[in-house]
Amino acid sequence: MNSEVILRDVNKDDLPIFFEQQMDKTSNYMAAFTAKDPTDKIAFMSHWQKILDDDRIIKKTVLFNDQVAGHVSSFEQFGEPEVSYWIGREYWGKGVATSSLSQLLLDFVNIRPLYARAVKDNTASIRVLEKCGFKICGEDKGFSNARAEEVEEYVLKLSSKAE
């Protein structure tokens, strides 16, 4: 059995797995900024079709033990290059998020500075980002669909080696 984390291109067969993973209530709460209705499969598939059709977005499926464990991506948000990831809850605590983000940064995304965001109480995600070299550089707040309230988040930045 292969216990390493591997990134590959996202394909349509991954989407039903991503859909099931993002319906998890605990995962939604921790991510905070989620779909208005995580159970709306039509909206989910439409959103992912736009992602798949956009060549500017780097999107990779995360495999762990040859199973789809989630996805990692880089895209532009608020005029800045940003990374994001979603790891199925059954894979939490196994180093999958850190390994997949590290691989994305090493093999697919060379733009710096690069940004990420995490709700302030998502200490696990903040730790993953810090392990990958991101540093907290600011704060923001926004409405969380998953929590039905405004939440505070950290903005993190990965600078170039020269900075």
β-strands 58-64, 135-144 pairing: unpaired
Residue with tokens 């591997």: 6
The CATH code of domain 5-158 reads 3.40.630.30
User: Residue 92 pLDDT more than 50?
Assistant: yes
Q: What is residue 34's predicted lDDT score, i.e. its pLDDT?
A: 86
> pLDDT tens digit string along 3-42?
699 999 999 999 999 999 999 999 988 988 888 888 899 9
Q: Calculate the dihedral angle through the C-alpha atoms of 121, 123, 125, 128, rounding to the nearest 10 degrees.
A: 160
Written as six digits, the tokens of 118 are 């995490």
Q: How high is the mean pLDDT of the chain?
A: 93
Q: How confident is the model at residue 1 (pLDDT cuts 50, 70, 90)?
A: very low
- CA 7-97-45 angle, to 5 degrees, is 65
- Identify whether the C-beta of residue 61 lies closer than 8 Å to the C-beta of residue 14: yes
Backbone angles phi, psi at 25, to 5 degrees: -60, -40
CA dist list (Å): 101 to 39, 50, 95, 134: 27, 22, 10, 11
Give the type of residue at 15.
L
Token representation of residue 131 = 């392990």
- With 70 as the cut, is the pLDDT of residue 85 above it? yes
**Side chain identity, residue 24:** D
At 56, phi and psi to the nearest 5?
-75, -20
What is the predicted pLDDT for the residue at 62? 98
Q: Is the pLDDT of residue 162 over 70?
A: no
pLDDT at 66 (0 to 100): 93
Q: What pLDDT was estimated at residue 78? A: 86
For the chain, the distance separating the N- and C-terminal CA atoms, rounded to the nearest angstrom, is 41
Tens digit of pLDDT for each residue in 69-83? 999 999 999 899 999
Range in 25-29, 84-88, 117-121 the model is least confident about: 25-29
Which ranges constitute the DSSP H helices of 36-134? 41-53, 96-107, 123-131
Residues 122-147, mean pLDDT to the nearest whole number: 95
